[in-house]
């Protein structure tokens, strides 16, 4: 599928950070956005921006072109219901971006509370698995689809004081390569390192030094172009924006 063909793009963790700017960029190009996040308030703000950026011809249909739901990827039941909803609404995604993620506060592993470790693993790994469990069968049924699992440079290297996050992103790399061997022709799953971008998550690790890195708004056009042009030939790849 080339980028000129309008698609439905699903983004988890869509209400903030890279998910938000990617959604806005994709909508600007005429594609439909479906997604979920844990903040109802931020989702409402994003929906207002998405519909404002829609094509002029979408006066009455703009509100139905995109679909955002207040859901947590850590809940398997919620992801099951989300998949069912998208089938009912005829919005089965062409591309899924598993973007929802969190990071631990900088700390040595023995000082990271168990609850914080669980939050990282449950969101970054189990959340991605919940999406795969309920959405891959839909893509397999229609014999096409791309899954983009957001990884990190720290999914291919290591750093002190972010061991839980590194572990989760190394897991995403391995999960993606393993699932790639299970997919039938026509589908692809990739691990995508977005690069270093000045988001709230980066600021939690780098502090004021995060200001030295690219802004999400300058990252989004390149990211959108790359994601929209992925094909089944990319299956199993570890890519970087």
Q: Which residue has the tokens 């006066």?
A: 59
SS3 category, 73: coil
Please, is 149 exposed, middle or buried when counting C-beta atoms within 10 Å of its C-beta (0-12, 13-18, 19+)? buried
Give which of 33, 27, 35, 20 is closest to 216, Cα–Cα.
20
* Bridge partners, residue 187, by sequence: 145
Spot the catalytic one: 82, 135, 154, 165.
Answer: 165
Q: Give the helix/strand (H/E) hosting 150.
A: strand 145-150
Tell me, yes or no, if 213 is annotated catalytic.
Answer: no
Give which of 112, 36, 44, 33 is closest to 74, Cα–Cα.
36
- Dihedral sign for Cα 139, 239, 6, 57, please: positive
Residue numbers annotated as active site: 165
């Amino acid at each position: 599928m080339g980028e000129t063909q309008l698609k439905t793009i699903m983004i988890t963790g869509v209400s903030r950070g890279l998910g938000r700017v990617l959604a806005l960029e994709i909508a600007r190009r005429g594609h439909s956005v479906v997604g979920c996040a844990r903040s109802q308030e931020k989702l409402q703000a994003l929906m207002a921006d998405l519909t404002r950026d829609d094509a002029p011809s979408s006066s009455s249909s703009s509100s139905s072109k995109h679909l955002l739901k207040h859901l947590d990827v850590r809940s398997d039941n919620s992801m099951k219901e989300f998949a069912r909803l998208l089938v009912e609404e005829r919005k089965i995604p062409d591309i899924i971006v598993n973007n929802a993620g969190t990071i631990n506060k900088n700390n040595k592993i023995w000082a990271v509370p168990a609850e914080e470790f669980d939050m990282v693993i449950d969101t970054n790994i189990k959340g991605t698995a919940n999406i795969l469990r309920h959405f891959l069968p839909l893509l397999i049924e229609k014999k096409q689809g791309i899954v983009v699992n957001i990884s990190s440079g720290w999914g291919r290297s290591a750093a002190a004081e972010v061991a839980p996050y590194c572990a989760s992103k190394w897991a995403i790399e391995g999960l993606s390569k393993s699932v790639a061997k299970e997919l039938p022709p026509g589908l692809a799953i990739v691990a995508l390192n977005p690069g270093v971008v000045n988001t709230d998550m980066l600021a939690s690790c780098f502090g004021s030094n995060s200001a030295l890195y690219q802004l999400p708004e300058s990252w989004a056009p390149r990211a959108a172009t790359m994601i929209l042009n992925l094909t089944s030939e990319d299956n199993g790849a570890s890519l970087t924006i």
